Chains A and B, each alone.
Chain A
Amino acid sequence: MGYIMKLLLGVFLLFSGIVWATDEYSVADQFFTDGQYSLIMSYIKTVSKTVYDTLVQCELDLKRACIQKVTNISDQGLLFPTGDNHGYAILKLPIMHGWLVEGVQSNINGLVGLYAEFLLVYGNRMPLVGCEYILNLIKRLDINLYNHFLLNDTTGENHIRLFDMSGNMAAVSFHPQDGLPLFLIDSSLAELSLGEQLFVFGH
């Protein structure tokens, strides 16, 4: 357990410098033009194939681009999975003047790096049937908590993730956008009896 704690703490430290985007954008042109988007994606592909593949899959699943344009550089970063993003994080990039200038590339590299760090821990989405099972455990523990969960995340996808913890069952933090529990689930949870699983989540 100490090793896992150190690993998770290490990951937290990697994340601690991230300014998570907290505001929802309402501007109509929150996405880059097709030309800009293609250029950005082709560049991301050269930086991280994993991030590129995830953004492509995200786009296919959500039927919209998973990179959003922000006008203020202080708003750049990651939007943690929330709302109807079905467990995908959204990359928020600033409008770039002089694209491919060294400074701009360096900034993009940093943001893609953050996305890669996110994928390292939160990259594995829990299948919907698994989310439903865990939501039902929460329902058994406290119906009010379950109802509050559903208000923020109807499927549980944004708060329940799969993560290999070498048999350590589960870990918990909180979602930066809504403050609800954020669960990482190890496959060993399935080996427990119902009562033991309830203790894991009650704890």
Chain B
Amino acid sequence: MIWQLDLAILTLLIVCAVAAISVKDLLATAILFGAYSFMMCLLWSIMAAVDVAFTEASVGAGVSTVFFVAAVFRTTRRTKD
């Protein structure tokens, strides 16, 4: 485990997580959530949990992003709060 790489991914993870709940545009939130999942996938593969990383990449970063985009498309793009 390379600690510089680990630190960089963890920082990006936290940036994505904070951005995803503070951004007003819900489409941007969906994409940020996908980026968050992808960072999580990298972390899993650094920790040698390849099966979990694969699931995270396919479910978290792939299909759930599509579901969120579809839901935003059918509801509203801006949050009320």
Say whether A associates with B.
no
Chain B positions within 8 Å of A, measured between CB atoms, are none
